[in-house]
Amino acid sequence: MNENIKNILEDIYSIDDSLRKHEKDLIKIIKTLLAAKPKAKYDEAFRQELRAELLEKFAELEEKQSKGFLKINFKLMNKLPYAIGGLILGMLVLLPFVSKDNILPGGKQINIGLESEIAKLSSNNAFGKINSDSDASLAARNAATEETVAGFGGGGSMTAYEKSMISSVMPAPMQYSYIYEGEDISLDDELLPVLKKVKGTEAQKSLAKILQNADFENIQMTSFSNSHLRNFQISEEEEYGYTLYVDLHEGMMSIMENWEMWPQPEVMQTLSPNQVPDDQTLLNIANKFLQEKKIDTSQYGQPHIDDNWRMYYDQRLAEGLDYYVPESIGVIYPQMVDGQMVYDEWGNPHGMNVTVNIRYNRVSSVHNISTQKYQSSDYDMETDVNKIIKLAEQGGSYTYYQDENAQNFEIKLGTPTYSYVQIWQHDGRTSNQLFVPALIFPVTEKPDNEYFFKENVVVPLAKDMVEQRLNPPIYPEDQPEILLK
């Protein structure tokens, strides 16, 4: 027997001696590859070809072999006599258990649901009453604002003296009045679909199976039943390396700098505005990174630069105050669902956020790379235009406590466009993402000398949300006393 083949076989048997019964098959595979490439080096191409053959021949053994018949012995793997042994050992530990439907020779991908897919449910209101997580917290906060002030405790009204003390030490608060000046609005749809993002992917079971069938030294993986791989991370150990975080359960991926591999200067000089690249350069940096990492952008709209820092910088400069130039700037790729752009509840485009580090002119992170599988269910929509405009003139949410001493600023709103608003809804155990039909009112006029960053006012059209925001729950000042017997 060829000495090379013999050494390869011995490395395989050192992991699991029971594989000797498949020796003929192993020899045949190795001989075929060596005959086809007699002068081949044990390089990446050889490894890929061997990987493909092993997948094909061992796939049928998955059902026959008892679970966990391979053990990962880290001490042994560190003592392998030559490189090809390590390659084959690594493949034999993991690859025989990978279903050909999930990972195939030639780099077929595991499908985790990044392509858009909407499944229509037959029943209406399938996701229960719609009420975003932010609604409850806002209602409670607004109900408590009038009578409770930080530093004076809660549960009682302030005296005139306490109010005068606050006004003497605190600057006058600011509040905003929203005024709709757009065209007439028509609301004809009594029912519209609300979307719910589907959690979990088939890849959770497929990838868990790889690990479940390989026992680690100090724990038996097969002792865990009905296993699903929820999340994992992979880090590049090189200069300016990245860490990829994958949450298979939530259907989210993100990339961040592997901070140990990025420069960590003891002293960093403050950046100046002229060091900030122009918008096209920032877009080029972001687009190039996404292309290099093969991140699909077909489910997103045209990217734009988050340049709110300039408003803050200009205002501070005009007031003769210190200014701050950010270390990084975001490039937002708006998420598109069913052909409509998605916004968050504060009026900002919701989607994938690519952060460009200004100091090094390279991408430092990518957040909210999301799966695109949804369920759809029809819900009652508000058709009373007056209610929608009233809610828009509240800023899209609850009415805030109005301070008689506050300085008031007018914000003008223009004609809205139809879109989706992304909200979080908690069901008592988990939080789910819902995408609710909404009108997006653009801010057309705002004070020049104030830090007002809002570009849009979002008004959800779902009747549940409109009613709750126009008629928030009442929290009594005095709660009933509970007697314990």
pLDDT digits (tens, 9 = 90+) for 192-216: 999 999 988 777 877 787 777 766 7
Kindly state the average pLDDT of the residues 167-177.
Answer: 65
Report the C-alpha gap between 127 and 432 in whole angstroms: 10
Per-residue pLDDT tens over the stretch 431-451: 899 999 999 999 999 887 666
In this model, does residue 291 exceed pLDDT 50?
A: yes
Higher pLDDT, 137 or 100: 137
Confidence (pLDDT) at 79 = 39
What is Dmax (Cα atoms) for the chain?
A: 100
CA angle 115, 118, 123 (to 5 degrees): 160
Confidence (pLDDT) at 33 = 64
Confidence (pLDDT) at 61 = 47
Higher pLDDT, 173 or 221: 221
Expressed in angstroms, the distance from the first to the final Cα of the chain is: 87
In this model, does residue 159 exceed pLDDT 80?
A: no
The secondary element (H helix, E strand) that includes residue 284 is helix 279-292
In this model, does residue 83 exceed pLDDT 90?
A: no
Number of neighbours of residue 155 by Cβ within 10 angstroms:
10
Report the C-alpha gap between 310 and 273 in whole angstroms: 9
Nearest to 15 by CA among 220, 217, 218, 224: 217
In this model, does residue 287 exceed pLDDT 90?
A: yes
88-102, 249-263, 428-442, 444-458: the lowest-pLDDT one? 88-102
Higher pLDDT, 230 or 404: 230
SS3 383: coil
Confidence (pLDDT) at 262 = 93
Confidence (pLDDT) at 155 = 38
In this model, does residue 477 exceed pLDDT 50?
A: no
Kindly state the average pLDDT of the residues 41-66.
Answer: 52
What global pTM score does this model have? 0.69
Higher pLDDT, 155 or 169: 169
Confidence (pLDDT) at 113 = 59
Per-residue DSSP letter, 269: P
Most confidently modeled of 8-22, 258-272, 372-386, 450-464?
A: 372-386
Kindly state the average pLDDT of the residues 155-172.
Answer: 46
111-115, 125-129, 265-269: the lowest-pLDDT one? 111-115
Residue type at position 277: P
Per-residue pLDDT tens over the stretch 328-343: 999 999 999 988 999 9
Confidence (pLDDT) at 208 = 80
**What residues contact 404, with CB distance under 8 A and at least 6 apart?**
none
Kindly state the average pLDDT of the residues 266-270.
Answer: 78
- Band (pLDDT 50/70/90 cuts) for residue 87 is very low
Q: Which two tokens stand for residue 369?
A: 């790379």
Kindly state the average pLDDT of the residues 391-416.
Answer: 82
Report the C-alpha gap between 63 and 60 in whole angstroms: 7
Kindly state the average pLDDT of the residues 228-249.
Answer: 92
- Name the burial class of residue 147, with classes exposed (0-12), middle (13-18) and buried (19+) by CB atoms within 10 angstroms of its CB: middle
Residue type at position 97: F
Confidence (pLDDT) at 141 = 42
Residue type at position 297: T
33-42, 80-89, 436-445: the lowest-pLDDT one? 80-89
Confidence (pLDDT) at 133 = 64
The secondary element (H helix, E strand) that includes residue 205 is helix 203-212
Kindly state the average pLDDT of the residues 413-422.
Answer: 96
Q: What is the mean pLDDT of the chain?
A: 76
Confidence (pLDDT) at 320 = 74
For every residue of 350-370, DSSP letters joined together read PEEEEEEETTTTEEEEEEEEE
13-27, 325-339, 378-392, 448-462: the lowest-pLDDT one? 13-27
Kindly state the average pLDDT of the residues 384-400.
Answer: 87
Most confidently modeled of 43-47, 109-113, 452-456?
A: 452-456
Per-residue DSSP letter, 61: G
Q: Which two tokens stand for residue 385?
A: 């235009």
Q: How far is CA 309 from the centre of its chain?
A: 23
Per-residue DSSP letter, 462: B
Percent of the chain with pLDDT over 70: 67
The Cα-based distances of 110 to 115, 158, 202, 205 in angstroms read 12, 61, 9, 11
Q: Which two tokens stand for residue 360?
A: 């090094």
Nearest to 249 by CA among 341, 128, 373: 373
Kindly state the average pLDDT of the residues 61-82.
Answer: 40
Cα atoms found within 13 Å of the Cα of residue 70, Cβ hemisphere only: 23
Q: Which two tokens stand for residue 250?
A: 């939530």
Confidence (pLDDT) at 474 = 62
**What residues contact 212, with CB distance under 8 A and at least 6 apart?**
67, 68, 221, 222, 224, 227
Q: Given the DSSP bridges, would you call strands 373-380 and 117-120 parallel, antiparallel or unpaired? A: parallel
The secondary element (H helix, E strand) that includes residue 297 is none
Confidence (pLDDT) at 37 = 60
